[in-house]
C-alpha cells in the first residue's frame, strides 16, 4: 500500500501542447481569402460601372424635378433618350411616333392624357398653369425604368 502512495505522489499533470495559432494561415485559407477578395473586387467594380452607367438617369431625374412646364419635361425626355438611342432614331421621331417609341422602351402603355400632351401639347399656346404632374410622373417612370429594346 505504501507503494501506491508514493506512486501517486510522483504523478504530474499532463503537459498540454501549445494552442494552435490562427497565424500563419494554412495554404487552403490563403486560397479562400484570395478568392473572396477577387469576388469582392469584381462586385465592387460591377457596382461602380452600373452606377456610372446610370448617372444620366440621376441627372435627368434632378432636372425633371426642377422642370416648371411641359416643354422642359419634353426636353428632358429627349435628352435622356439621346443617351441610350442613336440620334438618327430620336431626331426622326415626333408626335405620335415619338410617344410610341417611348412606350416601346418602357414596355407599358402611355396614358391618353400624357400621350396627347407629349405628341401635340408642347406646341399649343395654352396657358402655363395647366396640370403637368401626370406628364412629370410618366417621365420620371420612363427615365427610371426604360430598357432600350430596338433602335
Per-position pLDDT tens, the chain of length 151 = 555 567 777 788 888 999 988 888 889 999 999 999 999 999 999 999 999 999 999 999 999 999 988 989 999 999 999 999 999 999 888 889 999 999 999 988 999 999 988 888 777 666 555 688 999 999 999 999 998 654 3
User: What is the rounded (10 degree) CA torsion for 132, 133, 135, 140?
Assistant: 140
Residue 95 backbone class (left: φ over 0; alpha: ψ -120 to 50; beta: rest): left
Domain ranges of the chain: 56-145
This prediction has a pTM of 0.72
**Residues 139/99, Cβ–Cβ less than 8 Å:** no
In whole angstroms, give the CA distance from residue 94 to residue 81.
13
Helix intervals (H) in the chain = 2-9, 27-53, 55-66, 70-84, 87-92, 95-106, 112-119, 133-145
Amino acid at each position: 500500500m505504501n507503494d501506491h502512495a508514493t506512486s501517486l505522489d510522483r504523478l504530474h499533470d499532463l503537459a498540454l501542447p501549445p494552442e494552435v495559432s490562427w497565424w500563419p494561415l494554412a495554404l487552403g485559407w490563403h486560397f479562400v481569402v484570395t478568392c473572396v477578395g477577387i469576388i469582392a473586387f469584381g462586385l465592387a467594380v460591377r457596382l461602380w460601372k452600373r452606377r456610372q452607367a446610370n448617372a444620366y438617369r440621376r441627372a435627368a431625374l434632378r432636372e425633371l424635378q426642377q422642370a416648371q412646364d411641359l416643354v422642359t419635361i419634353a426636353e428632358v425626355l429627349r435628352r435622356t433618350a439621346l443617351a441610350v438611342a442613336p440620334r438618327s432614331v430620336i431626331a426622326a421621331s415626333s408626335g405620335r411616333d415619338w410617344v410610341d417609341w417611348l412606350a416601346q422602351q418602357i414596355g407599358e402603355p402611355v396614358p391618353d392624357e400624357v400621350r396627347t400632351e407629349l405628341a401635340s401639347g408642347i406646341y399649343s399656346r395654352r396657358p402655363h398653369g395647366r396640370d403637368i404632374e401626370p406628364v412629370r410622373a410618366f417621365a420620371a417612370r420612363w427615365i427610371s425604368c426604360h430598357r432600350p429594346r430596338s433602335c
